[in-house]
Amino acid sequence: MPQTVYWGQLCRGYLVHHPRRQRPGQSSQRVLLITAAQAFKKNSCTVFDLSSQLIPYEEAWQWQRAHVQHMICQLSSSADSDTTRCATSDAILLLQHPPVFTLGSGSTLSNLQFDPADPPAPLFRTERGGEVTAHSPGQLVAYPLLNLRNLQQDLHWYLRSLEEVIIRCLYEVGGVQGTRLLGMTGVWVEDAKIAAIGVRVSKWITYHGLALNVSNDLSFFDHIVPCGLEGKRVTNLSRVIAATGKSTDGYQHASLQDQPTGYDSADMMMRETSQALIASMAEVFNLNIKMSPCKTWTDMKSYAHP
């Protein structure tokens, strides 16, 4: 039976407390564990950071499915290998979407506050888990395409790990304390949901992912019952930081409106959030990050899945 290693610091067989990373709302020691054999072998992962761009939902969805199929083919090719690790082209895609609503595979239409035959924005039913959610500019969307055979073949572990990524990201950007609510998937700040998670796993390859509200127009959520949670509020990072007035990285987020003309505070916050999210992904999933040279969606559409 393999030894276990707990996050905080990768070491065999016991937990090393890392005070800077022990924050309220983080996972129990039991949830975020990784086998000792895996701990010292980082998984290579290519990050496609298009977080400053609006990418049509359907195109990003198609790209994910194509890449997942490529990764599944890689699994088949390595089936006869002597190694216990499966070499796959793991990837993380970061972007924003134009206004769009998405339904999970089992979502009920009763959580729509509009006629599905005449939606105020495009509406898609997808194969991910979870209920209805909304995407719009100012929301950071991350689609991790990871091979869980090299991590933990455990969907519960994966969902809790995505929550951990978000919690660390929030703290890094603005000192915001993200938390979990018992029995619910996602991340909250006090009683308001700031990030939603909905995933699909095929042959232990993950796709779909998480949506973190950064500076998006929250009124767009009025068209739905977000995640099917009646009476629950939503919030975003910009609103939370403005309410606290906390300062980080040398500037005061709550006073971004005082910056010189032409300074786009929303863009700056999105850049910092995407960078923090990448770093958190690398920590939680033990990834060796490689940044893709693709800078536009045109580049991505011509990208040959390696």
Cα–Cα distance list, 221 to 54, 149, 185, 192 (Å): 18, 36, 18, 13
Identify the burial level of 183 via C-beta atoms within 10 angstroms of its C-beta, where 0-12 means exposed, 13-18 middle and 19 or more buried. Answer: exposed
Model pLDDT, residue 226: 92
Is residue 15 in some structural domain?
Answer: no
Is residue 53 in some structural domain?
Answer: yes
Model pLDDT, residue 10: 34
Written as tens digits, the pLDDT of the chain (306 aa) is 333 333 333 332 323 333 344 444 444 444 455 544 455 578 999 999 999 999 999 999 999 999 999 999 998 877 655 455 667 899 999 999 999 999 999 999 999 999 999 999 999 999 999 999 999 999 999 999 999 999 999 999 999 999 999 999 999 998 999 999 999 999 999 999 999 999 999 999 999 999 999 999 999 999 999 988 888 899 999 999 988 865 434 334 433 434 332 336 899 999 999 999 999 999 999 999 999 999 999 998 777 665
DSSP lists the bridge partners of residue 189 as 192
DSSP secondary structure letters along 146-197: -BGGGS-S-HHHHHHHHHHHHHHHHHHHH----B--TT--SEEETTEEEEEE
Q: Could you count the other beta carbons within 10 Å of the beta carbon of residue 172? A: 18
Model pLDDT, residue 120: 98
Torsion of CA 101, 106, 110, 112, to 10 degrees: 0
Sheet holding 123-125, edge to edge: 123-125, 100-103, 133-135
Is residue 84 in some structural domain?
Answer: yes
Number of domains in the chain: 1
Model pLDDT, residue 100: 98
Which residues are the active-site residues? Answer: 227
Is residue 58 in some structural domain?
Answer: yes
Is residue 30 in some structural domain?
Answer: no
Alpha-carbon distance 195 to 104, whole Å? 16
Is residue 297 in some structural domain?
Answer: yes
Residue range(s) defining the domain that contains residue 144: 42-301
Model pLDDT, residue 41: 77
Is residue 19 in some structural domain?
Answer: no
| Domain of residue 137, CATH code | 3.30.930.10
Rg (CA), the chain: 19
Model pLDDT, residue 36: 44
Model pLDDT, residue 66: 95
Is residue 28 in some structural domain?
Answer: no
